[in-house]
Structure 1
């Protein structure tokens, strides 16, 4: 299974790099055409949770192909679980909340499929293939830190450029709508994290029992 996990990590690395680079090549010109300068367009690209999560996934996959001593932090089960949770949430939020809001075409559609479906799927597949039962529930609160920091970043950026990357985070919404949107995402993380840990424990147990 270790060999399978490495193969999946290689696929995740390749898919993630293709998706991120293609999205960058498409986003920057489109953003500048919309009136942003080059610097703000770069910031716009990195303002999306999808992009940041996929970058984390790419780093994680790359680490699996290197000796553990070189990128030890990304070989920790807790780190892999946190990134898997991020990616699963990315896929769920996009599919059920964001995808009905627009209809991308051509290369934009290709990017959407890669970054919201393929890379989360590969991350989840890697998590299963590399399962060892060592994921711990006590680390779950730490897994909430990245989305919390991201939320702070979103509103700091909003204070300067008056735009948010996702409609459910828009301060122009009513207080109830805004609180409901943020609460829904928090609940999704609170559900997904434990599921990721439980999946590791079950898959790890099955490996020990049946090889």
Structure 2
């Protein structure tokens, strides 16, 4: 069942990313420029990471990368990242446009289907161990890298991936304030995730002890 779910997750994530890439390229005036723009979104970064995660665990779980992805802290961190992709989209970005047809399918796959599938995978199949609350700080590295990349890219091109970090319209003060709110959300949700993870870890330990005693 675990392997089946990994395959489902991999297919969903690769399908979502490739469909969105196809749509982007189909309507692009400049394919090179559109490809750069396509890979500027946190949604795409995170869905690709999830797709690679599933694929590595299916094909080569014993490799160095496979062992890295098998670490409970990494698996929990991926959950945080993909859930925030879904939350930010549905709470902030979804009302900014109204996709139709293939765009709707790609949109929902990236922001709804892949996050929900990974959530279920993490709950039922991922290995868990007790995590330190400092993990919430460690998990901030990824969004910090993304924000720095977006600001540097925007300073060079004048284009920003999301309206709430658009320096040309908001200025640096408001943009950095918005970025700090996003990082705060990562941190708070990260703390909540550690708490939930540790509760589940304790329950699994109790269940194992009960089975042994019986």
With the length of structure 2 as denominator, give the TM-score of the two structures.
0.87
Partner of 1:85: 80
- Larger RCO, structure (CA 8 Å, separation 6 or more): 1
Match of 1:103 among 79, 98, 103: 98
Post-superposition CA distance 1:157-194 (Å, at most 9, x none): 11222111100000121555424421221111011112
Q: Deviations over 1:53-85 (max 9, x none)?
A: 001111112233245322211111121122111
RMSD of aligned residue pairs (Cα, Å): 1.8
What does residue range 61-210 of structure 1 map to in structure 2 within 5 Å?
61-70=54-63, 71-129=66-124, 130-171=126-167, 172-174=169-171, 177-210=174-207
The size of the alignment, in residue pairs, is: 204
- Could you list the runs of 5+ residues in structure 1 that have no partner in the other structure? none
Greater shift in the superposed pair: 98-107 or 73-82? 73-82
Q: Distance in 1 between matches of 2:55 and 2:171?
A: 42
Q: Shift in Å at residue 125 of structure 1?
A: 1.3
Task: Report the 3-state secondary structure (helix = DSSP H, G, I; strand = E; otherwise coil) of the residue aligned with 1:104.
Answer: coil
The CA distance in 1 between the partners of 2:107 and 2:90, in whole Å, is 10
Aligned-partner Cα distance in 2 for 1:138–1:188? 15
Structure 1-normalised TM-score?
0.89
Q: Larger Cα Rg: Structure 1 or Structure 2? A: 2
Deviations 1:107-146 (A, max 9, x none): 1111111000111111111111125233332332221111
Corresponding residue number in structure 2 for 1:20: 17
Judge conservation of contact 2:70–2:127 (CA < 8 Å) in 1: no
Q: Does 2:46 match 1:50? A: no
Compute the displacement of 1:156 (Å): 1.5
Instruction: After TM superposition, give the deviation of residue 205 of structure 1 in Å.
Output: 2.4
